Amino acid sequence: MSSDATAVRTPSVQTKLPNVGTTIFTVMSALATETGAVNLGQGFPDFECDPKLVQAVTDAMTRGLNQYPPMTGVPSLREAVASKVEALYGRRYDSGSEVTITAGATQAIITAILAVVRPGDEVIVLEPCYDSYVPNIELAGGTVVRVPLVPGTFRPDFDRIAAALTPRTRAILINSPHNPSATVWTREEMLRLQDLLAPTDVLLISDEVYEHMVFDGHRHQSAASFPGLAARAFIVSSFGKTFHVTGWKVGYVLAPAPLSAEFRKVHQFNVFTVNTPVQHGLAAYMARPEPYLELPAFYQRKRDLFRDGLRKTRLRMLPSEGSYFQCVDISAVSDLREDEFCLWLTREIGVAAIPLSAFYGGGFDQRVVRFCFAKRDETLQEALARLARL
């Protein structure tokens, strides 16, 4: 008879993600808390959403809308999304068969990848890229093909993208406005991508979570606006980013009906469905388009405030065309690597940032770090006062 000591055992597991550890966002946020630094690292607002949105969700709860909604999402919210997309980008998606509500954009991306990528398929990612893309592809058994954006400008290099396309390429992931670089794809670049993919069967996953944060009078170029891209695309967006409620984790995916059908097969066994009263609240709140139509001006003012303060430091600003990020070149301030500089900046100056090298598989170091300016004015002013010491 075996003793308790030999009977109790945790079996060993061969990890599916051997290269994944604690993310840099978790590390830097924990260090910011520990040191009392102003956290401009992780990308989330430190201000409240519109009270009318909270009230709309509260009203839904009070009305008893607290049980499972349809697997694809509350019909009124799917219709609100379809109407918004048609008004902004000129393409009508059928709310019944081509719009799916998801548990945030990150879930939407992994679900799209699991739906279409099989072992041996290649998926192109453009680096630097959001940190979920590569693990998602690996979990699906796909092969990651890394293509760098042009260093310094972070624009797509179409010659390198074309060279990366093979008969095994199943999909390409793009992100505009771009996290982390804050660049925005132009109409000409979207047309070049459309021409490049036209003779292929390559699918497109277009991460457009910052779609309403484009500055200086420019327009977001959604894949929905380009028929040749829309016909092969899963387009992902985020209510959390748009309405300052990142913790609610609600997003959506647009895709042609055949692609949506495959997406939903995975979605129903992944999360099945998404928070019911929040969906009803969002649908009611979207009756007025002003909250998202006014978002570019809202964030451009914060961007300009932050950039005005950065001009008083030795940090060299890169363009910030969209999103709520600002990248800076640290070369005139320090000889440290990006990751070392961010640790030093947090501990010694009291401001947390994220190294751009964290968004590259090989840790490519360009002496550039990323700040998030989705913060209250007083938060930004405090951070700038500290950065003025540089």
Domain ranges for the chain, please list them.
20-43+293-387, 51-287
- State how far the Cα of 181 lies from the Cα of 376, in Å rounded to an integer: 21
Helices and strands (H, E) in the chain, number of each type: 16, 13
Indicate the DSSP class of residue 205.
Answer: E
* Beta bridge partners of residue 234, listed in sequence order: 205
pLDDT tens figures, 44-81? 899 999 999 999 999 999 999 999 999 999 999 999 99
Those residues whose C-beta lies under 8 Å from the C-beta of residue 116, and which sit 6 or more positions away, are 170, 171, 203, 259, 262
Taking only the tens place, the pLDDT of each residue in 278-304 is: 999 999 999 999 999 999 999 999 999
The architecture that CATH gives domain 51-287 is 3-Layer(aba) Sandwich (3.40)
Interatomic CA distance for residues 252 and 243, integer angstroms: 14
Q: What pLDDT, on a 0 to 100 scale, did the predictor assign at position 7?
A: 83
pLDDT of 4:
59
Chain centroid to CA 280: how far? 23
Q: How many CB atoms lie within 10 A of CB 307?
A: 16
Give the separation between CA 347 and CA 33, rounded to whole angstroms.
Answer: 11
Alpha-carbon Rg of the chain, whole angstroms? 22
Q: How far apart are CA 371 and CA 354, in angstroms?
A: 7
User: What are the residues facing 139 on neighbouring strands?
Assistant: none
pLDDT score for 73: 98
d(CA 114, CA 105): 14
Instruction: List, for the chain, all residue ranges whose pLDDT scores fall below the cut of 70.
Output: 1-6
Q: What is the rounded distance in angstroms from the CA atom of residue 267 to the CA atom of residue 272?
A: 6
pLDDT at position 1 is 52
Are 46 and 376 in contact, with CB atoms under 8 Å apart? yes
pTM more than 0.85: yes
Query: What confidence score (pLDDT) does residue 254 get?
Result: 98
Cα 364 vs. chain centroid, distance in angstroms?
Answer: 20
Question: ∠ at Cα 274 (270, 276), nearest 5°?
Answer: 155
User: How far apart (Å, rounded) are the C-alpha atoms in residues 200 and 38?
Assistant: 47
Question: CB-based contacts of 71: which residues, under 8 Å, 6+ apart?
Answer: 264, 267, 268, 272, 273
Q: Domain 20-43+293-387 - what CATH class? A: alpha beta
Domains 20-43+293-387 and 51-287 share a fold: no
